């Protein structure tokens, strides 16, 4: 029997004042509360939130427990993030605007310690209502002084850069970036394992449970906000394709790599790299096959953690599939360990192979054809 197995966890639903019910349709969740749900945590190893395995040989075990039990068989050469699994993955449904907020930068995280950790994150847009947008960074010319004046005048939101969005786009938000998710937008969020948020503005809303507005954290936020140049947050993309699969790199930063993988129905390619990877399944159905264990079925809305130690691993597609593949970039002294055997996917000279380097090419955004 294999020591490790593919892992799919029970979602952790988070009711939010700004949440709704779109997670039921956008990512096929069965919400277990009548309250508006803003977040579904798919992969979490935090102080007060632990993902629990839903099915398979490890059913009922927590992610943090498996990190300790399986060690390198789960993580490969990837280091922990301050003692924790290095990713936190969620789905977010913004039925109303999220607060204007910022997350701790490295300076504040080091100063405060404890559960205050750097929070770098990225949003992959799953659904956007007409007019849907995000807020990321400032319009030109904003300084610390002008932003403080706007906060005092209640007009801080007017200084944010508003970006219209559509499904298939991806935006990177490093710690220190002022931002907000706009109403009518559903995203998959990939981030470092931190849940510290400093609110600057909450759209003057009142919490119906308390009759008052939510707390703001202006002093802490001002200590973290990056007032330097901020582009629209869409990194350059690269693309590799064969007749039956394509891989598009969406984000590469020190904290994580996000790639969009499309795979045709009826194929059964091997995969593996000696490092763990996470698949956030967006379309299609399939199975993970591996030595010594029963196949693990996946469907849209599932987040699958594939341990580094899986043996003879293959994916069998039962329909056309698309998923976000998330991994951790290795330090340069581990560069000899390939993250993914791309030779199993496509090689130059193969029939149907195409490689493109895309520099913010609008035609590459949201293409599902």
**Is 199 known to be catalytic?**
yes
Catalytic residue among 136, 161, 199, 260: 199
Q: What is the C-alpha radius of gyration for the chain, rounded to an integer number of angstroms?
A: 21
| Count of Cβ atoms closer than 10 Å to residue 252 Cβ | 17
Quote the tokens at residue 269: 């390619």
Pairing relation of β-strands 37-43 and 88-94? antiparallel
Report the C-alpha gap between 184 and 192 in whole angstroms.
25
Look at residues 1, 123, 120, 12 and name the one whose alpha carbon lies nearest to residue 63.
12
Report the C-alpha gap between 23 and 140 in whole angstroms.
35
Cβ neighbours for 335, distance < 8 A, ≥ 6 positions apart: none
Report the C-alpha gap between 140 and 133 in whole angstroms.
18
DSSP-derived letter for residue 80 is P
Report the C-alpha gap between 151 and 136 in whole angstroms.
17
Report the C-alpha gap between 88 and 70 in whole angstroms.
19
DSSP-derived letter for residue 161 is E
Residue for token pair 């594939």: 306
Catalytic sites, residue numbers = 199
């Amino acid at each position: 029997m294999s020591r490790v197995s593919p892992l799919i966890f029970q979602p952790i639903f988070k009711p939010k004042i700004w949440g709704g019910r779109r997670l039921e349709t956008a990512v096929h969740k069965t919400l277990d509360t009548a309250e508006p749900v803003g977040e579904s945590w798919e992969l979490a190893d935090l102080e007060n939130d632990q993902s629990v395995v839903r099915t398979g040989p490890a059913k009922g075990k927590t992610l943090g427990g498996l990190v300790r039990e399986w060690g390198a068989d789960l993580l490969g050469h990837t280091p922990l993030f301050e003692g924790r699994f290095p990713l936190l993955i969620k789905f977010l449904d913004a039925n109303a605007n999220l607060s204007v907020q910022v997350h701790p930068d490295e300076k504040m995280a080091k100063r405060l310690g404890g559960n205050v950790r750097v929070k770098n994150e990225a949003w992959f847009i799953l659904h956007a209502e007409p007019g849907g947008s995000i807020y990321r960074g400032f319009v030109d010319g904003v300084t610390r002084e002008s932003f403080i004046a706007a906060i005092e005048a209640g007009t801080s939101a007017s200084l944010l850069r508003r970006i219209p969005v559509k499904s298939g786009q991806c935006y990177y938000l490093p710690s220190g970036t002022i931002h907000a998710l706009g109403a009518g937008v559903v995203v998959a969020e990939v981030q470092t394992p931190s849940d510290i948020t400093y609110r600057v503005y909450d759209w003057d809303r009142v919490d119906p449970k308390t009759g008052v507005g939510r707390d703001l954290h202006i002093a802490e936020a001002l200590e973290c906000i990056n007032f330097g140049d901020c582009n629209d947050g869409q990194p350059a993309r690269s693309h590799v394709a064969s007749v039956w699969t394509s891989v598009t790199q969406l984000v590469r930063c020190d904290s994580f790599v996000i790639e969009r993988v499309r795979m045709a129905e009826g194929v059964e390619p091997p995969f593996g790299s000696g490092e763990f990877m996470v698949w956030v399944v967006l379309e299609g159905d399939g199975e993970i096959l591996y030595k010594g264990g029963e196949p693990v079925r996946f469907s849209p809305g599932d987040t699958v953690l594939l341990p580094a130690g899986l043996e003879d691993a293959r994916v069998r597609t039962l329909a056309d599939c698309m998923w976000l593949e998330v991994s951790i970039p290795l330090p340069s002294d581990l560069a000899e360990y390939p993250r993914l055997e791309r030779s199993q996917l496509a090689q130059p000279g193969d029939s149907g192979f195409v490689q493109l380097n895309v520099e913010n090419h609008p035609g590459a955004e949201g293409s599902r054809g």
